[in-house]
Amino acid sequence: MVDLKAVIRELALEMGFDIVGVASADEFHDEEVAAVNRIRQGLMDGLPWFTEERVRRASNIHGLLPGAQSIISVGISYMVKDDDLEGPEGRPIGRIARYARGKDYHKFMKSRLQEMVLILSDRISRHVRGRIFVDDGPMLDRAAAVRGGLGWYGKNTNILSSSHGSWILLGEIITDLELEPDRRVLKSCGTCNICIEACPTQAIIAPYVLDNTRCISYLTIENRGVIPLEFRSHMSDWVFGCDICQEVCPVNLKASHSREVSFYGDNRSVAIVDLIELLGMTENDFHSRFAGTPVMRAKRVGMQRNACVALGNLGDVVAVPALIRILDKGDLMVRQHAAWAPLEALMPWLHCVGQCWSRLFQKYWVRLVAPYL
């Protein structure tokens, strides 16, 4: 008798996935209730596609694939060292979230999962019906990963795996194969709150609860409008996404590195972003540089907006001429942020000048003016 799960695990590793688990196709009732509550509380505002109707569809696996029996959940690591990330000397550089520094994972993961279904059908000599998701469509990816034993919920809402931490990208195959579900991972974050304390915009408002509208990843990617003033100075030099809550996580300190070629070498085309160069890009320039990467989601205008905020936070006066040029010919939204950035960049200098004038005033007022009053 063929051990279906053994065949699936072996095939998943062959296809380049790092972890794989099997979950039942039962309804995600508790997860549905939690997600709907988050929506009603306004914590998912700014994501018009994330609706109650979508959550309900995602919770009903049999509605997604009639006759569904199991969910095959996979994860692939994108943890790559930053040893080679050095920009041109004297040029301000913006940071990109690790997952977006290589090729767009949606495309190559989905292609592999499709191929996996075909190869699996051949190996077990029967047609395997399957519906595939890679962080798209009505699917509760993290819920499936937890149920399938890939990991546990971190307090920053990411999935933590024992082997690769939270540096994993998730994908699923809903299938008509009847498979024995894997056990859940009996781990938790315990009393650790490091990620909550490290979030600069205080987006993790409680353990396991994220206010999407405060998250730097949302502000730099999904947000299509003006970045609220209250968050700009806390965004540092992030121009696409943010990894802070993952970088400080103790579990991630032991995470294995990725073996996926799409995240190494020449594929790391957006690992370094020259912010001044980004401000001067045309639409064609932007497409030539970022085509085939997740950065395209933010669009040129969004990335130039983000660059203005990063330059303001870096406080490097070398960027002031480029920011002033944007005020003349940039898009309206970009100009709004460019007007803010030089003030932030010059603020330390103005503060220093102000202190000098204050000392001079106090010194000479006391000596030269006050005696004659």
User: What's the per-residue H, E or C state across 70-86?
Assistant: EEEEEEEECCCCCCCCC
Is the pLDDT at 365 greater than 80? The verdict is: no
pLDDT of res. 346: 56
Query: Where is mean pLDDT largest: 40-44, 78-82, 265-269, 289-293?
Result: 40-44
Q: pTM higher than 0.85 for the full model?
A: yes
**How do residues 126-154 score in pLDDT, each as one tens digit?**
999 999 999 888 999 999 999 999 999 99
**How do residues 170-218 score in pLDDT, each as one tens digit?**
999 999 999 999 999 999 999 999 999 999 999 999 999 999 999 999 9
Residue from 18, 84, 135, 243 carrying the catalytic annotation: 135
188, 270, 342 from 218: Cα distances, Å: 26, 19, 24
Which ranges constitute the DSSP H helices of the chain?
A: 4-14, 29-40, 52-59, 61-64, 105-124, 141-147, 194-198, 216-217, 229-232, 244-247, 275-279, 283-290, 299-314, 320-329, 332-364
What's the CA gap between 4 and 127, in Å, rounded?
Answer: 13
pLDDT of res. 266: 66
Count of residues making up the chain: 373
11, 42, 76, 113 from 173: Cα distances, Å: 13, 31, 14, 7
Annotation says 135 is catalytic: yes
What does the radius of gyration of the chain's CA atoms come to, in whole angstroms?
25
First to last CA, the chain: 105
**How do residues 296-315 score in pLDDT, each as one tens digit?**
999 999 999 999 999 999 98
pLDDT of res. 87: 63
Average pLDDT over residues 94-102: 91
Name the one residue in this structure whose structure tokens are 């709150």.
193
Domain residue extents for the chain = 4-80+102-175, 194-350
